Chains A and B, each alone.
Chain A
C-alpha cells in the first residue's frame, strides 16, 4: 500500500472511533471528545492529501490550521453550553435533555 493510502486509512480509523463514540456516549462531554477525534481525522486526511499528491501543499496545511481553529472555537462554545445544561438539569447526560421548553 502506498503511504497515501496508509495515512488515509488512519484518518478513517479516527472517523470510525469518533462516530462510534458520538453514538454510544451518554454524556455531552464524552460526545465532545468524540467530535474532536473526528476533526483530527479530517485534518490528518487533508495534510496527507496535500503532502503526497500534486495538490497545493499550502492549501492543505492552511485548511488544517483553519480546522484546528474551528475546533478550538467549537470546544469553547460547547463547554459553555454543557455548563448551562448541567446547571439547569443537574447532569450532563444527553438523555436528560429531552425537554423542549424549560
Chain B
C-alpha cells in the first residue's frame, strides 16, 4: 500500500510540474491557464492523499470552478484591439529576463528547501480523517470572527470590482 501511495504522489507531482511549467512559460495565456488548472488538480490529488477530501473538493470547487473562470474572463476581456486574445508581447531580451526570473524564483525556494530538509520534524502517521462536522463547529465556534471577516472581505472585493467596472453614462 505504501508503494501505491508513493506512486500516486509521483503522479500528482508530475501533474504539478507539467502544469506549472505550462502556466509560467506558455506565451499563449489560455494555455497557461490550462496549465494552472492542471496544477490545481494535482494539488487536489495531494489533498486526497493526505486524507483531507473536504479540502480537495473545496480546491476543485473554488479554484477550478471559480478562480480559473474569472481568469479566463480576464484573458477574454483584455485583448488588444486587432490582436489575438491572450498573447503576451514579444520579449526584448528574453534570455536575460528568464535568467533573472529563474534566480528570483529558485533562490528563496532553495533556501526554504534547505531549512525543510534539515529542520523538519519526524512525520507522524496520518491522523484519522477530520469529520466535516468538527470543521463546522470550529468555524461557528472559536473561529467565527475569521469566518465573518472573510465574508466581509469577499463582499468588499465584489463591491470594489463593481465600482471599478462601472461605466459612467455619457452626459449624465
Residues of chain A whose beta carbon lies under 8 Å from any beta carbon of chain B: 2-10, 12-21, 23-30, 32-34, 36-37, 40, 43-44, 47-48, 51-54, 57-59, 61-62, 64-66, 68-84, 86, 90-93, 95
Contact = CB atoms under 8 A, between A and B. Distances in A.
A35 B50 CA distance: 24
9 interchain residue pairs of minimum CB distance: A20-B105, A21-B24, A24-B101, A16-B109, A4-B123, A73-B157, A80-B161, A17-B20, A19-B105
20 contacts: A4-B120, A6-B9, A15-B112, A19-B109, A23-B100, A29-B75, A43-B43, A47-B47, A47-B50, A47-B55, A53-B124, A61-B52, A69-B153, A71-B67, A72-B66, A73-B156, A79-B74, A79-B161, A80-B165, A92-B78
Q: A-side binding surface: helix, strand, loop or mixed? A: helix
Q: B-side binding surface: helix, strand, loop or mixed? A: helix
B39 A70 contact: no
Contact of B86 (A14, A25, A29, A84): A29
Given A3-B5, A14-B20, A32-B71, 15 more contacts: A4-B120, A15-B112, A16-B105, A19-B105, A29-B74, A33-B71, A37-B23, A40-B63, A53-B121, A54-B124, A58-B138, A69-B154, A75-B71, A83-B165, A86-B78
A78 B77 CA distance: 13
A98 B48 CA distance: 44
Interface in B77-125: 77-78, 80-81, 86, 88-89, 91, 97-98, 100-102, 104-106, 108-109, 112-113, 116-117, 120-124
